[in-house]
Amino acid sequence: MGDSVKLSWTAPFFPRAGVYNIFHTNEENKSNSIIQVASNNVTTRVDRYEYLSKPLNSTNITFMIKNITLDDAGYYTGGNKEEDAWSGGGVVVIVLGQSTFTVL
């Protein structure tokens, strides 16, 4: 733990109006929006998340989790709203212990 991990996937679309949300679903199947991206603005819920995609409206979604912890394990995906996020794409992060993680 304490390492950083870069996550990426290709989204089927990026909204022309509104916001693209990145969600983290943990072991309790509870989804939280961790990053909100508009064509001209990025809002992160926690400073440890850094959105890397340029331009901001790119369908190639890339962001970093800094100082990864056990709480960062789970499924990361995106969409306009939570229901859209379950339609595919995204990545799974498995945190096994100190400085050991896997991205699927």
Question: Comparing 2 with 47, which gets the higher pLDDT?
Answer: 47
pLDDT at residue 104 in the model: 56
pLDDT at residue 96 in the model: 83
What pLDDT, in 10s, does the model give residues 21-74? Answer: 999 987 776 778 899 999 889 999 889 999 999 999 899 999 999 999 888 999
Only one residue has tokens 């794409």, namely 89
Model confidence band, residue 1 (pLDDT cutoffs 50, 70, 90) = low
The model's pTM is 0.84
Both tokens of 103, joined, read: 């991205």
pLDDT at residue 85 in the model: 67
In this predicted structure, the answer to whether residue 87 has a pLDDT above a threshold of 80 is no
Question: Comparing 76 with 27, which gets the higher pLDDT?
Answer: 76
